[in-house]
Amino acid sequence: MSDSRPIALDAMGGDHAPHEIVAGAVHAVRERGLSVVLVGAPRVLYEALADHDATKEVPIVRAEEALEMNEGALASLRRPRSSIAIACHLVRRGDASAVVSAGSTAGIVATGRLRLKAQQGVLRPAIAVALPTRPTPALLLDAGANAEVKPEMLVQFAHLGAAYAELAHGIEDPRVGLLTIGSEPEKGNKLVKRAHELLQGSPGLTFAGNVEGHDLLAGKVDVITTDGFTGNVALKTMEGAVRYAFDELRETLSESRLARLGAAMQRSRVRELRRRLDAEAYGGAVLLGLNGTVVIAHGSSKAQGISAACKLAADLSAGGIVSGIADRIAATHRSHRLW
Amino acid sequence: MSDSRPIALDAMGGDHAPHEIVAGAVHAVRERGLSVVLVGAPRVLYEALADHDATKEVPIVRAEEALEMNEGALASLRRPRSSIAIACHLVRRGDASAVVSAGSTAGIVATGRLRLKAQQGVLRPAIAVALPTRPTPALLLDAGANAEVKPEMLVQFAHLGAAYAELAHGIEDPRVGLLTIGSEPEKGNKLVKRAHELLQGSPGLTFAGNVEGHDLLAGKVDVITTDGFTGNVALKTMEGAVRYAFDELRETLSESRLARLGAAMQRSRVRELRRRLDAEAYGGAVLLGLNGTVVIAHGSSKAQGISAACKLAADLSAGGIVSGIADRIAATHRSHRLW
């Protein structure tokens, strides 16, 4: 890690803030060798750090306010001194390399856009989520930052995701799929039909064509571009369906004594699998396209999830995700000028 | 069953047509006591029926053409004598009570709209799919007939689904949810925000508010209304995620000898569960809002799936789904006039 600047960790966002956030910071520092600064109410954070005997290992930056989990986009305007706003400010000033927050997604997106601003040429920042495909994760974006988009934005989302896939998953020429309702180019609504045409001509992009809902976890492509409405519905549907399948299975397995015996044998393996499918292990979603890296951890994150999110933020930042995106966006613009 | 008219079964549509379709017809007649007429190429169908010794039990209506599985909406115009067109024609003439086809969804929707026409006052027919929630299935619609919709259509889809839920699942005052990306009324894109307002004021509807992707299989509501683009993506995402969870689980379970032993014990139960989650057992999707009942069986349906689809078609038709929908749509219109 060449970047010695710390991760700015929003200590006040998330269902288990601040204690699990603080525990996550301590884990990230001690077990992963990362540099982390906690942003939030100093007294509470100091006490929480003292519980871990870590007051000297993790610095605190004061933030007087915090966004509530149910506060949306507007709160980011009303609260310029919130912990997430201060965390963004640290990155903006160059005092931190990246932001991590488990707070309300709408609040993080709005605050990030307001404080860090979109990168030059980026129409809309988007949320990328890594799906547990093999051998490498597939990136779904936009997973919810933009409910209403234009076809050009879907092309940019593809570039944002491609830059992420190259950097974080080491994939050369990531294959990009467009989420729609049929494999033929003319399948879908007006938005995706036009996006299909644009994607075909976009320089530096390996467009693999349309993908459908059942392809999301099939590992056919490395990046899946979609609008934030469809992407969010698909992501939550997927989470709900996996949970449903496991719940049904547990019920089925507990119905007979013989089956119960088998289930006992397998419990640990099933638990292991479930953890792998759990978004928390992946360190959360990333808000791409801003002048700074912002990782959005699950609201329900505990220490392990927060620590993984800090690692992801550090890796993306050290790998130069922001400049990687800038290069791609600039290349698209140059090519547009040529034509 | 008071309606003695047969089900018109498109014998030429589906991956396993005509043999599994014919086997399904024989099953429906012998095991379920239904009346079925096969529509397709007479010679092939006669021979297939002869294999079942059923040439006297299932009549054949000639259709010279068939839609290919990859043929879309336009083919329905080019092929007025296709098996699906003739099947619709039989219902139109009153010679059959309902249509069942495992052919291409786009072809069935286009042909159904062209030959049976939308019911009076229905803006757009929609595809309803029963999700395996408990104790009763939740209906998701539109699952793919309309990629582009207006807010008023989402309200109508809610009524179509409510009529279906009342009739097929015996639910009084079905609870209706609007699929979007947050529980608050203002969450979503313009389409759903407007639909939310309209749903709140729609007479005869129990609107339970917004639902999200993870609620689809949670059994919170009886009917979920959405546009055909989002609904299709969600449905396929769900199918893919359940398949993924089972595949991962199988792999996990086969990794150790001890676990393999457990897995062997449970194999039959898991298979049973999988069948329950399989859409085929539900007899397929229903195209609602036409002057006649049209059941769209899975393209991969075998005999059992076709037979279940015939049963669903017979039940809906005998229960008066078309007039149930007509009453609801008329009531909305009357209320609009009053205001």
What is the span of the domain harbouring residue A91? 1-122+289-320
Do B254 and B305 have their domain in common? no
What pLDDT, on the 0 to 100 scale, is given for residue A274?
Answer: 64
pLDDT higher for A184 or B123? B123
Do B177 and B306 have their domain in common? no
pLDDT higher for A170 or B69? A170
B189/A148 touch (CB, cutoff 8 Å), yes or no: yes
Compare all CA atoms of chain B with the CA of A178 and give the residue at the minimum distance: B233
Q: Kindly state whether residue B295 falls inside one of the protein's structural domains.
A: yes
Do B99 and B201 have their domain in common? no
Do B213 and B313 have their domain in common? no
**Looking at this predicted complex, what is its ipTM?**
0.90
What pLDDT, on the 0 to 100 scale, is given for residue A184?
Answer: 85
Q: Does B215 touch chain A (CB under 8 A)?
A: yes
Of A72, A233, A240, the CB nearest to B233: A233
Compare all CA atoms of chain A with the CA of B272 and give the residue at the minimum distance: A252
What pLDDT, on the 0 to 100 scale, is given for residue A74?
Answer: 72
User: Which of B154, B266, B270, B277 to mutate: most A Cβ within 10 Å?
Assistant: B266
B188/A229 touch (CB, cutoff 8 Å), yes or no: yes
CA A97 to CA A316: how far, in whole Å? 10
Residues with Cβ within 8 Å of residue B333, at least 6 apart in sequence: B121
For residue B147, the SS3 value is coil
What pLDDT, on the 0 to 100 scale, is given for residue A288?
Answer: 98
Distances (CA, A) of B83 to A326, B18, B139: 55, 11, 28
Q: Does B74 touch chain A (CB under 8 A)?
A: no
A241/B246 touch (CB, cutoff 8 Å), yes or no: no
User: Which of B71, B134, B214, B258 to mutate: most A Cβ within 10 Å?
Assistant: B214
B153 DSSP 8-state letter:
H
Tell me how close the Cα of A244 comes to any Cα of chain B, in angstroms: 7
b/e code B64-96 from CB counts within 10 Å (16+ = b) = ebbbebebbbebbeebeebbbbbbbbbbbeeeb
B38 DSSP 8-state letter:
E
To the nearest whole percent, how much of chain A has pLDDT over 90? 71
pLDDT tens digits along A314-335: 999 999 999 999 999 998 877 6
Task: Show residues of chain A in contact with B236, CB under 8 Å.
Answer: 181, 212-214
E strand map for chain A: 7-10, 36-40, 60-62, 98-101, 126-131, 138-141, 175-179, 206-211, 223-225, 285-288, 293-296
Q: Kindly state whether residue B327 falls inside one of the protein's structural domains.
A: no
Residue of A203, A236, A334 whose CA lies nearest to B237: A236
pLDDT higher for B198 or A64? B198
Do B29 and B103 have their domain in common? yes
Residue of A164, A12, A4 whose CA lies nearest to A87: A12
CA B56 to CA B46: how far, in whole Å? 10
CA A252 to CA A256: how far, in whole Å? 8
CA B156 to CA B149: how far, in whole Å? 11
What pLDDT, on the 0 to 100 scale, is given for residue B290?
Answer: 98
Which helix (DSSP H) or strand (DSSP E) does residue B176 occupy?
strand B175-179
pLDDT tens digits along A252-274: 666 655 555 555 555 666 666 66
Tell me how close the Cα of B239 comes to any Cα of chain A, in angstroms: 6
Chains A, B: CB contacts under 8 A, how many?
Answer: 177
Output the DSSP codes for A258-270.
Answer: HHHHHHHHHHHHH
**Number of structural domains chain A divides into:** 1
Do B190 and B255 have their domain in common? yes
CA A11 to CA B58: how far, in whole Å? 71
What pLDDT, on the 0 to 100 scale, is given for residue A1?
Answer: 45
Residue of A246, A239, A245, A238 whose CA lies nearest to A267: A246
Q: Kindly state whether residue B332 falls inside one of the protein's structural domains.
A: no
Do B2 and B114 have their domain in common? yes
Do B139 and B99 have their domain in common? no
Do B147 and B22 have their domain in common? no
Q: Kindly state whether residue B227 falls inside one of the protein's structural domains.
A: yes
Q: Kindly state whether residue A168 falls inside one of the protein's structural domains.
A: no
Please check whether residue A33 is in contact with residue A124, taking contact to mean a CB–CB distance below 8 angstroms: no
b/e code B12-39 from CB counts within 10 Å (16+ = b) = bbbebbbbbbbbbbbbbbeeeebbbbbb
Do B147 and B108 have their domain in common? no
Task: Show residues of chain B in contact with A236, CB under 8 Å.
Answer: 181, 212-214
For A67, left (φ over 0), alpha (ψ -120 to 50), or beta?
A: beta
b/e code A295-309 from CB counts within 10 Å (16+ = b) = bbbbbebbbbbbbbb
b/e code A73-82 from CB counts within 10 Å (16+ = b) = bebbeebeeb
Q: Which two tokens stand for residue B316?
A: 């809906």
Q: Kindly state whether residue A9 falls inside one of the protein's structural domains.
A: yes
Q: How confident is the model at residue A194 (pLDDT cuts 50, 70, 90)?
A: very high
Do B145 and B267 have their domain in common? yes
CATH code assigned at A50: 3.40.718.10
Q: Kindly state whether residue A189 falls inside one of the protein's structural domains.
A: no
Mean pLDDT of A189-214: 95
Residue numbers of chain B with a pLDDT score lower than 50: 1, 280-281, 338-339
Q: Kindly state whether residue B329 falls inside one of the protein's structural domains.
A: no
Mean pLDDT of A167-179: 95
Angle between helices A228-253 and A257-277 (to 10 degrees): 160
Q: Which two tokens stand for residue B226?
A: 């959405």
CA B217 to CA B237: how far, in whole Å? 12
Do B101 and B203 have their domain in common? no
Q: Does B33 touch chain A (CB under 8 A)?
A: no
pLDDT tens digits along B294-323: 999 988 899 999 999 999 999 999 999 999
